[in-house]
Amino acid sequence: MLYLSFLTLVTLFLYMVAELSALGQVVGALTGLDRLPVIIVECAITTIYTSLGGFKISFLTDVIQGGMVVGLIIVATITVGVKTEIKPELIDSSGLTKPSLLGWQLLYILPVAVLTNDFFLSNFWLRTFSSKSDRDLWIGVSTAMVTVLCILALVGSTGLVAAWSGAWPGNPAQEGSLAFFLLLEKLPGWVVGIVLVMVVSLSTAAFDSLQSAMVSSASNDLFRNRLNIWFIRSMVVLIIIPVVVLALKAESILQIYLISDLLSAATIPVLCLGLVDRLHWWRGFEVVVGGLGGILTVFIFGTIYYGSAAEGSKLLLIQNGLYAEDWGAFGAFVAAPVGGILWGFGALALRLTFQFIKARVRHERFDSLDPPVVVPTVISDSDDQPAVVTASRAGKFF
């Protein structure tokens, strides 16, 4: 639990860095203003209202800010369609309509990265646990899925429009993640103003959820609710300081997400094996060794592929990004889950061997592969109602 809680907090930390970095870059691209004051104001405001209202106020602001995001998409769609002029000569020269090595690689990288990383986003889990019923959860998730699909399709296509209209890469050249806002920068001033307000609202909605999730995860998972919640909130406020510093220095938002994705790709597959009932002999020892081993496997792969330990260590941070036109990033996202599982089974063999020898030396029965013993637990008992009994079993680390 401590290991997984730590990884959850690391993931939330990286997402907070990416969120503030994105906000700063957008404000800089649209207005040319200094990014630091905007970032500080957002951190201060979200800290105040999440401290006073908790996750409930985060839900409320998400509803309001979600409506503003829909407004952003509508305004952007209409104005881009009316004002933007596509230059046919840029379509072929951009190469975006042609197949590429990266395009085929992303068919594997993105599903693995997004699926595994979502396991560590406790702001998703908190919404799951706060649902009144399974039906409400299904309705909420289905609605969000359709909405997000439409938004991503529209926002994603603006990258093509920005490249084909000459708005991107710009002068000086900007990151591809800013293509949408570089396109909007060419629109009338009133559109830019509305977009800027909506972007800040969207960023605030995401950042307050990450803050609340970090407080909840640290309080419940790490400290088992033994520490006063205000101490936890104070710790999160202190953590925001390095978040702001890194956000100002981060040049690539995508790289931040990829670091988090690589960490989860090494950890989640070996963890999910423990959720299979037939693999009841899988222990926390295998999960921890497998997760750390997956990261080590990425380093080993990078060292062999690039012929340098220094380059292998850079691959852990995806410093070359996705656009290096080689197999480095793809190999990393293959090595992480596969290596994690192999290291997990290696740890399993080591543990079983140790426990077998230990049982022989002590003249005891070797029971490490036995099914778990189910312990009945009475959770309610009264004169009016019959006792409700549930079956539970505690997990083991070794």
* pLDDT tens readout for residues 265-324: 999 999 999 989 899 899 999 999 999 999 999 999 999 999 999 999 999 988 888 887
Euclidean distance between CA atoms 328 and 320, whole angstroms: 8
- DSSP sequence for 130-198: T-SSHHHHHHHHHHHHHHHHHHHHHHHHHHHHHHHHT-SSTTTT--GGGHHHHHHHTS-HHHHHHHHHH
Cβ proximity of 187 and 263 under 8 Å: no
Euclidean distance between CA atoms 182 and 162, whole angstroms: 7
Percent of the chain whose pLDDT exceeds 90: 41
Q: How far is CA 109 from the centre of its chain?
A: 14
Phi, psi of 395 (to 5 degrees): -75, 160
Confidence of residue 10 (pLDDT cuts 50, 70, 90): very high
Cα angle 238, 242, 247; round to 5 = 135
| pLDDT, average across residues 226-235 | 90
Q: Cβ–Cβ contacts within 10 Å for residue 155, how many?
A: 16
Kindly state the tokens that stand for 396: 């083991």
What pLDDT score does 389 carry? Answer: 54
Euclidean distance between CA atoms 29 and 79, whole angstroms: 18
What pLDDT score does 379 carry? Answer: 56
For CA atoms 41, 47, 52, 53, the dihedral sign is: positive
Kindly state the tokens that stand for 57: 């106020």
Listed residue (268, 234, 233) closest to 121, CA to CA: 268
- Give, in order, the Cα–Cα distances in Å from 94 to each of 88, 89, 159, 286: 10, 9, 11, 47
What pLDDT score does 393 carry? Answer: 58
Where is pLDDT greater, at 108 or 96? 108
Residue 325 CB partners (closer than 8 Å, separation 6+): 101, 102
Cβ proximity of 297 and 267 under 8 Å: no
What pLDDT score does 184 carry? Answer: 76
Asked whether residue 120 carries a pLDDT value surpassing 90, the answer given is no
| pLDDT, average across residues 236-265 | 91
Confidence of residue 225 (pLDDT cuts 50, 70, 90): confident
Confidence of residue 43 (pLDDT cuts 50, 70, 90): very high
pTM over 0.85: no
Map residue 24 onto helix, strand or coil. Answer: helix
pLDDT digits (tens, 9 = 90+) for 163-194: 888 888 877 777 777 787 778 777 778 878 88
Confidence of residue 66 (pLDDT cuts 50, 70, 90): confident
Euclidean distance between CA atoms 197 and 203, whole angstroms: 10
Q: Cβ–Cβ contacts within 10 Å for residue 267, how many?
A: 28
Euclidean distance between CA atoms 77 and 68, whole angstroms: 14
Cβ proximity of 34 and 185 under 8 Å: no
Delimiting residues of CATH 1.20.1730.10 domain(s) in the chain: 2-251
pLDDT digits (tens, 9 = 90+) for 367-393: 888 887 766 665 555 555 555 555 555
Cβ proximity of 121 and 213 under 8 Å: yes
Map residue 211 onto helix, strand or coil. Answer: helix
Where is pLDDT greater, at 34 or 334? 334
Cβ proximity of 68 and 202 under 8 Å: yes
What pLDDT score does 376 carry? Answer: 63
Percent of the chain whose pLDDT exceeds 70: 94
Number of Cα atoms under 13 Å in the Cβ half of residue 70 = 9
Listed residue (211, 208, 210, 260) closest to 236, CA to CA: 211
2-251 is classed CATH 1.20.1730.10: yes
H-helix segments, the chain: 2-31, 35-83, 88-94, 101-118, 122-129, 134-165, 179-185, 189-216, 229-249, 253-272, 284-306, 309-316, 328-361
